[in-house]
Structure 1
Amino acid sequence: MPQTSEGNVHANQYREPKPSQGGPSRPVSELFRLDNRTVIITGATGFLGTTLAIAIFESGADVVCLDLLPTPIAANWGEVESAAAKYDRRLSYYQLDVTDENAVSETFAKFIPTLRYPVKGLVTCAGLSRNGPATDFPASSFRKVLDINVTGTFLIAQATARELIRTNNTGSMVLVASMSGYGVNKGVDTAGYNTSKAAVHQLTRSLAAEWGSRLEIPLIRVNSLSPGYIRTAATAEALQKPGMESQWIGDNMLYRLSTVDEFRAPVLFMLGDGSSFMTGADLRVDGGHCAW
């Protein structure tokens, strides 16, 4: 039996799974379902955020979208609205700078009273990458990357955890990290970005340890997603560099770049009850890039 240094058994080591947490009585068909809950997405108008919002609607949840712009201008935002209508889900959008602690609290205070289902999920897609040689990279740019990717992720996770505790609801968080948190991308100078994503991995483990092992609060699972290279408008500029696309393709075992759609199932898995025994982990979806 696991024991403390004083020889006393940790009671929280034996928190038994409930059917609502993916226990044995849960039908397989429901393990990816997100019914009767609200999921928050930051960076919601980005290429990953909009794709995940549509997938989450299809899986049964309402979605609160948070992003920096006053109104969503994503090219496929109409598809997000159409999916909400098609599946009879609620979609809301709020402008938010995730690095502003007061704004995070104020925004949560605005949308929480409007929800029909409790918050039970979070996906943090908000992030920033800036390239440049480390010898010339401005400290201000380095700080901004860390502030958005790490501090912003922490503040949103903190606010979500407070809401879960207030309502006594279990929940699951997916913090978007990157394979760049494991190693260095060949051909691009992104010391700040790589550092920030490694920090997200450690933040994931730290929050999971705090919020998964305390019996006085509801169970909050925290995991991260580490995507590999994704072919989107955001990577188009980098791919213009001679030889870059062939290098990126050759750096993984599947010899291609990923598409945004390929991250829907991993995120739904981590949000849903099918991953009930998973916390403090990173799900690397990189085509084998880091396994060479």
Structure 2
Amino acid sequence: MASQAQPQEPKPRLGPPTTTITDLFRLSSRTILITGGGGAVGLEVARSVLETGGDVICLDLAAHPLPDEWQRVQTTAETHHTKARYHTCDLTDPQALQSTFDHAVSQVRYPLRGLVTCHGLSAGGSSLDFPTSTVTKLLDVNITGTFAISQLCARELQRTNSAGSIVLFASMSAHVYNRGVDTAAYNASKAGIVQLARSLAGEWGSRPGTPLIRVNSVSPGYIRTRQTSETLSEPGMEKLWSEGNMLGRLSFADEYRGAVQYLLSDASSFVTGTDLRVDGGHTAW
């Protein structure tokens, strides 16, 4: 007679059910690493982490972060007794990335508990004439760079036996063709980010004997930043982009703070392998 299977022990929760909703969203005593941490979105995410008790490491290819935004980050850190550090780094250079990562992590006062990848490269043009060398560069930055920093963070979480959350920035361009701009290679790279998040979530979320690492992606809509200003100056482009979503406007960098904070924090303790579209309904028509 076949023996009955023994019931499995339930996995522990990240926090007790008595935790207040306010505390669920806090990132106290955690360090969060942010790539693209010198740009508008990355610096807004940094402020949110600092406001809720966490420290941040900002990595970016630029020698210096945006000055006004970085000053606001520093002011926020002083107000909330948290810390923000900035490091210049090329995610596509494995040796430089490893060295910068090791140096940055060696300086933290709280364990690394999260990653947000706000970096990205975009380029457009007719696919009949688009250089394959540019395709390679796009994939190297958007896919390989994201994979590399995610891998380093996951290894650090395993080394310290810490649960963590990884948030990868994809794009609505991962889901649709954007009218008015030809960006086939970019779109493909962002679709790859959505699949990368799902795949890493499956691999790192349920492996016995390893700390729980949740991995999700965020798909933003069009954002009004210095990077989009040139395209928006073209006749009719702002109207086309604005009318492409249900809210009839472009987004601002600070409108992604809530989504990222949710995915980083224990408020999303049962969320992994998910793509959160923050696109004003652009992909929901």
**TM-score bin (small chain):** over 0.9
Residue 107 of structure 2 corresponds to which residue in structure 1? 114
SS in 2 for 1:76: helix
Residue 141 of structure 1 corresponds to which residue in structure 2? 134
Moved more, 49-58 or 64-73: 64-73
Residue 57 of structure 1 corresponds to which residue in structure 2? 50
Distance in 2 (alpha carbons) for counterparts of 1:29 and 1:233: 33
Give the share of equivalent positions with the same residue, in percent: 51
Cα displacement string for residues 134-153 of structure 1 (whole angstroms, at most 9, x for unaligned residues): 11111111111111011000
Residue 18 of structure 1 corresponds to which residue in structure 2? 14
Distance in 2 (alpha carbons) for counterparts of 1:96 and 1:10: 48
* Structure 2 alignment gaps of length 5 or more: none
SS in 2 for 1:213: coil
| Map 1:11-90 → 2, pairs under 5 A | 14-19=10-15, 23-90=16-83
Distance in 2 (alpha carbons) for counterparts of 1:151 and 1:26: 38
Taking structure 1 as the reference length, what is the TM-score of the superposition? Answer: 0.93
Q: Give yes or no for contact 1:179–1:226 (8 Å, CA) kept in 2.
A: yes
Q: Give yes or no for contact 1:224–1:283 (8 Å, CA) kept in 2.
A: yes
Moved more, 93-102 or 164-173: 93-102
Residue 98 of structure 1 corresponds to which residue in structure 2? 91
SS in 1 for 2:58: strand
1:69: Cα distance to partner?
Answer: 2.5
SS in 2 for 1:93: strand
Distance in 1 (alpha carbons) for counterparts of 2:246 and 2:61: 36
1:11: Cα distance to partner?
Answer: 5.3
SS in 1 for 2:113: strand
1:162: Cα distance to partner?
Answer: 0.2
Distance in 2 (alpha carbons) for counterparts of 1:8 and 1:202: 34
| Map 1:142-221 → 2, pairs under 5 A | 142-221=135-214
1:71 and 1:256, CA in 2 relative to 1: closer, same or farther beyond 3 A?
closer
Q: Give yes or no for contact 1:104–1:159 (8 Å, CA) kept in 2.
A: no
Q: Give yes or no for contact 2:14–2:269 (8 Å, CA) kept in 1.
A: no
Distance in 2 (alpha carbons) for counterparts of 1:179 and 1:9: 44
Q: Give yes or no for contact 1:179–1:228 (8 Å, CA) kept in 2.
A: yes
Alignment-mate amino acid for residue 18 of structure 1: L
Cα displacement string for residues 113-157 of structure 1 (whole angstroms, at most 9, x for unaligned residues): 211000001100110001111111111111111110110000000
Residue 267 of structure 2 corresponds to which residue in structure 1? 274
Residue 227 of structure 2 corresponds to which residue in structure 1? 234
1:72: Cα distance to partner?
Answer: 2.8
1:9: Cα distance to partner?
Answer: 8.2
Distance in 2 (alpha carbons) for counterparts of 1:109 and 1:156: 12
**CA RMSD of superposed structures (Å):** 1.6
Alignment-mate amino acid for residue 157 of structure 1: S
Cα displacement string for residues 2-53 of structure 1 (whole angstroms, at most 9, x for unaligned residues): xxxxx978959x423131xxx4122111111000000000011111011111
Taking structure 2 as the reference length, what is the TM-score of the superposition? Answer: 0.95
Alignment-mate amino acid for residue 54 of structure 1: R
1:10 and 1:236, CA in 2 relative to 1: closer, same or farther beyond 3 A?
farther
Alignment-mate amino acid for residue 74 of structure 2: E
* Structure 1 alignment gaps of length 5 or more: 1-6
Runs (4 or more) in structure 1 with deviation over 6 Å come to 7-10
1:73: Cα distance to partner?
Answer: 4.3
1:195: Cα distance to partner?
Answer: 0.4
Query: Number of residues paired by the alignment?
Result: 282
SS in 1 for 2:227: helix
